Amino acid sequence: MRRRRFLATSLATGAGLWSSGGLSLAAEPKSERTTKKGESKMAFQQPQLPYALDALQPFLSKEQMSYHYEKHHAAYFKKLNSLVEGKPEASLPLRQLVIQSTGGVFNNAAQAWNHTFFFNCLKPKGGGVPQGPLAAAIERDYGSLQDFQKALADTAAALFGSGWTWLACDQKGKLEIMPLGNADTPLKHQREPVLTLDVWEHAYYIDYRNERPRYIEGLWNAVNWDFAQHCFTAAVKQ
């Protein structure tokens, strides 16, 4: 718990993870390749959650976050490690493995990466409004923050079945809302993720049951605009 709080502080202040390499480190911390005490070494290790399990209440309860992070996210890492054990893919950075893999390895690698990205898109006492270049790009491409939020919410509500609603951009910073099914990610479409919302039922069903629109609405009180802004500026600089 002490370590989790330290990492939460590092992420919240922008120190450490963000300043030492940008998006790839934020979504794929160096601790991924280290081992926790008493654990055997695995190719891919689930990063620590950047806040406590109960820190996103009332948007997401401790029970909801516990199932999502400790059961679902952990299971993708466990399955991925079993699939790549002893194979060359085990030595790839996770992001690269997502980009070049297919089938079961892709499904589990992408879900491992997507969830790490998603958890970084949220923060305790989040919300507010974006600043800087991202705010300007939202206004340019969607007219206003309110229009963008409605477009993303409508897209997320309409996504059939399991998947993710992404805000992504190209290298010039053109924004695009992408509804993608199952484990699919903008990384497979030559786009850089800026923000995402997990709309698999496992992400919200304990707290919201079948009311996906109410879960989507809650995002705006927990969104981590600083992280999204960081991802956007890093993508445009590439």
Phi and psi at residue 180, in whole multiples of 5°?
-125, 135
**With contact defined as beta carbons under 8 Å apart, do 118 and 156 qualify?**
no
Nearer to Fe ion by Cβ, of 92 and 199: the residue is 199
Phi and psi at residue 223, in whole multiples of 5°?
-65, 145
**With contact defined as beta carbons under 8 Å apart, do 231 and 193 qualify?**
yes
Q: In the complex, what is the shortest distance from the CB of residue 121 to Fe ion, in angstroms, rounded to a whole number?
A: 12
Label residue 190 exposed, middle or buried (CB < 10 Å: 0-12, 13-18, 19+): exposed
CA-to-CA distance for 195 and 177, rounded, in angstroms? 9
Tokens describing residue 196: 């995402």
Nearer to Fe ion by Cβ, of 135 and 157: the residue is 157
CA-to-CA distance for 90 and 87, rounded, in angstroms? 6
Nearer to Fe ion by Cβ, of 137 and 152: the residue is 152
Nearer to Fe ion by Cβ, of 18 and 215: the residue is 215
**With contact defined as beta carbons under 8 Å apart, do 134 and 233 qualify?**
yes
Q: In the complex, what is the shortest distance from the CB of residue 142 to Fe ion, in angstroms, rounded to a whole number?
A: 26
User: Where along the sequence are the contacts to Fe ion (CB under 5 A)?
Assistant: 198, 200, 203
Report the Cα 113 to chain-centroid distance in Å.
7
Q: In the complex, what is the shortest distance from the CB of residue 42 to Fe ion, in angstroms, rounded to a whole number?
A: 20
DSSP state, residue 40: P
Report the Cα 137 to chain-centroid distance in Å.
21
Q: In the complex, what is the shortest distance from the CB of residue 83 to Fe ion, in angstroms, rounded to a whole number?
A: 19
Q: In the complex, what is the shortest distance from the CB of residue 118 to Fe ion, in angstroms, rounded to a whole number?
A: 7
In 3D, which of 86, 142, 129 has the Cα closest to residue 229? 129
Beta bridge partners of 198: 164
Nearer to Fe ion by Cβ, of 187 and 203: the residue is 203
As a residue count, the chain comes to: 238
Nearer to Fe ion by Cβ, of 28 and 198: the residue is 198
Q: In the complex, what is the shortest distance from the CB of residue 36 to Fe ion, in angstroms, rounded to a whole number?
A: 22
Q: Which residue is nearest to Fe ion (CB)?
A: 198
